[in-house]
Structure 1
Amino acid sequence: MDCGAAQAVEKVGSAACASAEERYKGRLNMPKIEIVGESDIYVKTGSTVNLKCVITQSLEEPAYIFWYHDNERVLNYDKTAKDIRMDRVGPDTTVGTLVIYNGQRQDSGNYTCSPSNLDSASVLLHVLNGEHPAAMQRGKNSASPIPGRWWSHLSAGLGLSACVQPRNVAIAVIVLGFAGHLVAWTGS
């Protein structure tokens, strides 16, 4: 299709072009990029963290996906500390994964996924020593009540630990394989 000059092209929306013979109009789907989960991720020291950068509606797979930690490129020479993968999971979807093993305080900071052919996406990782578990309750997810009588069943069944303060319980569950998923409950 030789359209000559496009009449209207928007980043998201529709595109129309005209040639001497015919007029074409159609939906223009621009690639999307996001890091799965919350924009702020809270984990305990020693946790394994999976950051997943999902690129959808992209007809062309990126040549590479670079990860940056506080504007410094993350390298995976030592696969016991960090691992980087890129997988094409569908005809228009690519997933870039950064795995941080045994997360430490120095791993806290801004992580950016930067593919070769798109803008970037970022997330903020907080690795906590456990001294302030209430900080884990911030973010998009709202806290929901959990009765105290269920705490012993829940902690035993899932092998969880928590910080119990007067009239408050905070639980953090990191779901491996789904980066950034955080569940927090508070109870009175």
Structure 2
Amino acid sequence: MPTTDLIVFFRIGERLTLTLVVLVVSTIVMIGFWRTVQRVNLTEGGKLGVAGSFAFSTPVFVLLTIVGYAYVSLSAPISVSTGAERPQTELAGTSASSFVGASPAATIPAPPVDLGYSSALAERKIRSLNCMARGRELTARQQDDLALIKLDLMIPVWAADWGDPDRFRAWASGIDPAAPNARAEIVFEGVHPTC
């Protein structure tokens, strides 16, 4: 059985269930209406009249409930469409009700990168890492990993006055013992003042 048929059968079952719920609720409301507003008295000599206007009698109330439900139910007929029928993208100027989904990434301009903010954030993270590592005995593997993590934070925001990043990487990895650029070393070894 194709998926479309399953969806249609599910929608039909959903409508029938909703119809049953509406009928049960309207029956409960009708009985409550009879017991409170109309006060039906079926004893000998009892009154069957309506206490109030005829416009609020039970049959009118139930009829309006069922007509309202039928209008809501039938105003949106069951329809199923496959994804192949829809276009891949739609214009942004179409109405909101006709477009559901995401537009291609190429049409959304990327926000400008604030290099100063990114650099300050990377420096703060490096200082935090150095504070956490301070006073602890790290294994050689942990020291290498810490250096690589700090390098990964520094490289995307590398400042021009920090010198050659490859030479600094060689120093930080322990490959080249030559002293690196002083400014880059300050960032690499920096700690928080409260640390």
- Higher radius of gyration, 1 or 2: 2
More helix as a share of residues? 2
**TM-score past 0.5 threshold:** no
Higher relative contact order (CA 8 A, sep 6+): 1
More strand as a share of residues? 1
Q: Smaller-chain TM-score range?
A: under 0.3
